[in-house]
Structure 1
């Protein structure tokens, strides 16, 4: 029997007052697994009211106490790993081992980083910059922040949002994606065991609910991870009331492979990083740019690696990656694959996984596309890799940078000169060399151009959730 989900407001689960609801379905089987409400303005207002009231005391909590709470939440996550994994698997169909390793264990580690960062915020030292006066800087929390998370990594994205915000002393109203709410609700319950009531609130709903969060006058910032379209809507809404926006949007990551690279290793890792989470990762390899002299060799190696991957099994332990998240996205991807330009060649894949009940797509490699083709320019968010040749380093840079996205990229070479110049010239928020997709809590994540602005992870993300105040004392 499907469960009916509830909002988490002021330390308790409460039924939404909105009359609408929708089914949450498994992308593995297409069956309903839960019923979620569409929270209305009254629900959203109640969450912001609880967060505003909690902020009055939470902002004054010492950094060491905020650290203690974040460390306790990290411990809770690990102790309830199986519950978190099952809740998320119902909504995403991701292999359970991937959720356990890449979201629960990694999320707990990231919370522990933010716990330490709570005690490391810095400002300029106090000094007499004007004779007879001492100036110093206070770094303060913003207040109540609205946060909207996506469906591709529901738990990890929630951790990336709440970790720095709570470390800085803010309170939160968060809306998870309508297709993947359950692991976030478990996280909220676990947080409620260690944080004061009202510090972390979760409201469920669809895009209309997200718009209510963005427009709410109490919110000092709106932070979203999502599509460019959703980010534009949030930025527009935030601008009306001059509130801050933090946008982590899409990507179209190139992997630039030079002829001197270890091609076998590059092919294995690129295919892994391009199909991880079914390619539903804004940093996933989507465009392979390879030096023309080794183009055919690398394509053959990529195809061989693709043949080794398994997906579409009901037993997720057998899958290297799971399904696309929902029916609408699956249909969009399938339509793109049905309309590949005639000048392109599908080397492997290009179709749904054979005999799969859910939204599974085979690993797909496409050559012969032009730079202005949609599959090169627009985010596919699927296990689909395009391969384009280049003849010179300058052309590689031109092709790599020739899209609207600027989140992540990688360079594959044994030549230090290639690596250094490409790291400088690639217009992306992250450049990996001879690897891809790997993240650490200590380093920032975020892009440029249409990929948005603001940083997740690292001390930079904590600073995003603070404001700087100048205080000057007359000495006489």
Structure 2
């Protein structure tokens, strides 16, 4: 298998990549720069024929790619990482334009994505062996086939590579569908990948809302890996049921942080704020509810307010800490949390009840002081820079409060008594729990949610299995037959 070739990389023209070649379309759409509200470059909208062609190419490529030795697939990943990092500066500029991320965080995502590749290079596909006098039973893991990766807009590079790396390492081929809000970096990343991978191994098709169902309903796609909202995840799971596709769903969260009374207030307050407002709150595992012990509640809230006031919000060129909300649809959703909080008369500890209007989708980081348990800001996920705090006194009661959600993606516990913090953490209904840290997923750890926060998971040693079928071989030993004399 030889790599496919595409023309030299340009940064103002974008194509889908099908069977190793760039492909345009008559229908176009544009992303929007969230810092200015201005439209960006044209992007082709893939149609059913494009999807069918991509799947056929991926299915054909799977026949040979799945037989490529594991270590050789790793060598391809190394070459891909090198080719990708050769364009790191351009990728960071593009990422800042399409997401509004401050430049330092765009650079962090671009280079951090390479860490996902690096970690997967340390992994091996597990194989389990059990032997007795009669037989040897070997469990091995084989690739599924064609994978469809439906990716979100908040971390378009990391969360795409987080699916690409394990999929192709385990011998699958993959078709990436980027969010229509942030198509540009994914299209370029997979254009670069054609310098390394054979045609059909890694492809990308961008488009509108009609594209997702074309992938989920396609009979020759073996698995869908989706990161996004709970509502869309349910639709994907229902669509995949018709062909019994394997499905991995990483969905929304409403992460609780429990703060014990023994913490150092001045040290922990900035960490709580960063956990809530990192990436302008547009993180599936961002802190979304903060429960602070009554003994330190006022001191902690005041320290959080003071730190929040230092956070500069602005465009990537403004040397800001927080950028805008990525798209207008999400911007309008975030505003409903401000409107509800204002209309119900809840207390704004910091931030204005009225979101400023103007150029770009900017929202100032906001803390709501002790709203009721049934308030919108407590029960729903804003996915923006607004977070509630509540006091607590009884440990059993606050654990019930933290678990009182239909979601269970992440959670945090803060306390100098680490044993106590860990004991509380073990009782939280969440797929990932951080002790004395805000939420920081890593490719070295399995990542998935409880309850409506998802099905299955990815990353870590167990993550490779998400892209495999288990195959058990029962090998019986031949017994010497003793003939009768």
> Could you say which TM-score interval applies, normalised by the shorter chain?
over 0.9
Contact between 2:126 and 2:141, CA under 8 Å: does it hold in 1?
Answer: yes
Q: Secondary structure at the match of 2:363?
A: coil
Partner of 1:124: 128
Alpha-carbon offset, residue 47 of structure 1: 0.8
Q: How does 1:70-85 map to 2 (within 5 A)?
A: 70-85=77-92
Partner of 1:329: 330
Q: How has the CA–CA distance of structure 1 residues 126 and 257 changed in structure 2, closer, same or farther, with 3 Å as cutoff? A: closer
Q: Distance in 1 between matches of 2:294 and 2:57?
A: 59
Q: Distance in 2 between matches of 1:104 and 1:6?
A: 20
Contact between 1:351 and 1:361, CA under 8 Å: does it hold in 2?
Answer: no
Does residue 7 in structure 1 map to residue 16 in structure 2?
A: yes
Does residue 34 in structure 1 map to residue 35 in structure 2?
A: no
Q: Secondary structure at the match of 1:219?
A: coil
Q: Secondary structure at the match of 1:321?
A: coil
Match of 1:68 among 62, 75, 95: 75
Q: Secondary structure at the match of 2:333?
A: helix
For structure 1, which runs of at least 5 residues remain unmatched after alignment? none
Q: How has the CA–CA distance of structure 1 residues 332 and 350 changed in structure 2, closer, same or farther, with 3 Å as cutoff? A: farther
Q: Deviations over 1:90-136 (max 9, x none)?
A: 210101211211x221111110111222xx1122215247x2x4332
Partner of 2:31: 24
- Higher-Rg member (1/2): 2
Q: Deviations over 1:162-216 (max 9, x none)?
A: 1111111100011000010111111102211111111011000122101111111
Q: How has the CA–CA distance of structure 1 residues 448 and 319 changed in structure 2, closer, same or farther, with 3 Å as cutoff? A: same
Q: Secondary structure at the match of 2:101?
A: coil
Contact between 2:339 and 2:354, CA under 8 Å: does it hold in 1?
Answer: no
Partner of 1:147: 149
Partner of 1:179: 181
Alpha-carbon offset, residue 339 of structure 1: 1.9
Q: How does 1:293-372 map to 2 (within 5 A)?
A: 293-313=295-315, 315-316=317-318, 318-340=319-341, 341-350=343-352, 357-372=359-374
Alpha-carbon offset, residue 342 of structure 1: 2.2
Q: Distance in 2 between matches of 1:97 and 1:372?
A: 38
Q: More deviation in 71-80 or 392-401?
A: 71-80
Q: Distance in 2 between matches of 1:167 and 1:354?
A: 47
Q: Distance in 2 between matches of 1:328 and 1:416?
A: 41
Contact between 1:343 and 1:369, CA under 8 Å: does it hold in 2?
Answer: no
Q: How has the CA–CA distance of structure 1 residues 359 and 61 changed in structure 2, closer, same or farther, with 3 Å as cutoff? A: same
Partner of 1:217: 219
Q: How does 1:110-259 map to 2 (within 5 A)?
A: 110-117=116-123, 120-125=124-129, 127-128=131-132, 131=134, 133-259=135-261
Q: Deviations over 1:304-345 (max 9, x none)?
A: 0110000024624x2101110111111111122112152521
Contact between 2:418 and 2:435, CA under 8 Å: does it hold in 1?
Answer: no
Q: Distance in 2 between matches of 1:54 and 1:212?
A: 20
Q: How has the CA–CA distance of structure 1 residues 463 and 411 changed in structure 2, closer, same or farther, with 3 Å as cutoff? A: same
Contact between 1:405 and 1:451, CA under 8 Å: does it hold in 2?
Answer: yes
Alpha-carbon offset, residue 351 of structure 1: 5.2
Q: How has the CA–CA distance of structure 1 residues 113 and 313 changed in structure 2, closer, same or farther, with 3 Å as cutoff? A: closer
Alpha-carbon offset, residue 366 of structure 1: 0.3
Partner of 1:58: 65
Q: More deviation in 332-341 or 50-59?
A: 332-341
Q: More deviation in 435-444 or 207-216?
A: 435-444
Q: Deviations over 1:367-403 (max 9, x none)?
A: 2312222211111000111001111111110111111
Alpha-carbon offset, residue 137 of structure 1: 2.3
Q: Distance in 2 between matches of 1:419 and 1:138?
A: 38
Q: How has the CA–CA distance of structure 1 residues 351 and 38 changed in structure 2, closer, same or farther, with 3 Å as cutoff? A: farther
Q: Distance in 2 between matches of 1:467 and 1:67?
A: 20
Contact between 2:335 and 2:355, CA under 8 Å: does it hold in 1?
Answer: no
- Across the aligned residues of Structure 1 and Structure 2, the Cα RMSD in angstroms comes to 1.7
Q: Secondary structure at the match of 1:125?
A: strand
Q: Distance in 1 between matches of 2:454 and 2:84?
A: 30
Q: Distance in 1 between matches of 2:441 and 2:228?
A: 18
Paired residues in the alignment total 467
Q: Distance in 2 between matches of 1:349 and 1:364?
A: 4
Q: Distance in 2 between matches of 1:363 and 1:352?
A: 12
Contact between 1:311 and 1:353, CA under 8 Å: does it hold in 2?
Answer: no
